[in-house]
């Protein structure tokens, strides 16, 4: 075999190795990107047993009127510290490797949405969901609250009320209760129900009959 042939053979071997390594890297990259790159982490809701007990204590009544409701009556996002408002705090908390600029805006990071199992690398693709929507709260008793109490509800970081999720999934949810809407990821239904009940119990908000039935069914299967 000539020197030229040997060189050519070596180049072919290296090319095949490079192709194999590149293919492996692509596969690994695909696996990493398709899996949860960050786990949303609101405060842990109570156990299913506790949530069932809480649910039994909630007042059951028909949903109230939305008359007079507006999002402005639930001031958000409130300043939490320095330049950081509630939204930015939740983005930092629920994301992975989040970097913020001098204004506290998230400029880098990844966010895993447990509602639908999607991972995002741009904060603009992520909404901060009020687990119990503002409108739902209004119709369940918050219409009688002071503006200050409604602001506390809308910015509550102490309970499992705020969570970073895919924006269009949050928009599809709107102000629906669990009798009307549940996260697309079925394995998250138990956690979601526990979150919902814990918030309603803490704020002494009512539930309607179909809402309670849906929550009971989910919690009984936890």
Residue 145: which pLDDT band, with cuts at 50, 70 and 90? very high
Average pLDDT over residues 143-161: 98
> Encoding tokens for residue 130?
């009020």
* C-alpha to C-alpha distance for 125 and 138, rounded to whole angstroms: 27
- CA-to-CA separations, 188 to 114, 193, 206, 218, in angstroms, rounded: 7, 9, 23, 10
For residue 23, the model assigns a pLDDT of 38
* C-alpha to C-alpha distance for 124 and 166, rounded to whole angstroms: 10
Write the pLDDT tens digit of every residue in 49-102. Answer: 999 999 999 999 999 999 999 999 999 999 999 999 999 999 999 999 999 999
For residue 41, the model assigns a pLDDT of 76
Share of the chain above pLDDT 70, in %: 82
Residue 39: which pLDDT band, with cuts at 50, 70 and 90? low
140 touches 64 (CB < 8 A): yes
Average pLDDT over residues 12-16: 38
For the chain, the residue count is 222
Residue 22: which pLDDT band, with cuts at 50, 70 and 90? very low
Domain ranges of the chain: 1-34, 38-220
> Encoding tokens for residue 95?
């994301």
Q: Tell me which residue of 186, 176, 174 sits closest to 117, measured CA to CA.
A: 186
Which range has the worst mean pLDDT, 4-13, 106-115, 149-158? Answer: 4-13
For residue 156, the model assigns a pLDDT of 98
Nearest-10 crossing angle of helices 209-220, 189-202:
130
Neighbour tally for 203: CB within 10 Å: 19
Higher per-residue pLDDT: 15 or 169? 169
């Amino acid at each position: 075999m000539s020197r030229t042939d040997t060189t050519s053979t070596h180049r072919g071997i290296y090319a095949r190795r490079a192709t194999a390594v590149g293919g492996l890297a692509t596969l690994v990259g695909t696996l990493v990107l398709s899996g949860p790159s960050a786990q949303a982490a609101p405060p842990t809701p109570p156990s299913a047993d506790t949530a069932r007990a809480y649910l039994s204590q909630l007042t059951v009544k028909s949903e109230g009127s939305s008359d007079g409701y507006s999002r402005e009556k639930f001031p958000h996002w409130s300043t939490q510290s320095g330049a950081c408002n509630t939204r930015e705090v939740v983005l930092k908390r629920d994301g992975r490797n989040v970097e913020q600029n001098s204004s506290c805006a998230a400029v880098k990071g990844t966010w895993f949405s447990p509602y639908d199992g999607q991972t995002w690398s741009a904060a603009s693709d992520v909404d901060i969901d009020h687990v119990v929507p503002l409108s739902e709260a209004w119709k369940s008793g918050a219409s009688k609250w002071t503006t200050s109490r409604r602001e506390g509800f809308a910015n509550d970081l102490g309970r499992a009320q705020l969570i970073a999720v895919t924006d269009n999934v949050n928009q599809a949810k709107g102000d629906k209760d669990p009798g009307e809407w549940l996260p697309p990821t079925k394995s998250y239904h138990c956690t979601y129900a526990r979150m919902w009940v814990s918030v309603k119990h803490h704020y002494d908000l009512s539930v309607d009959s179909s809402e309670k039935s849906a929550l009971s069914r989910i919690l009984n299967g936890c």
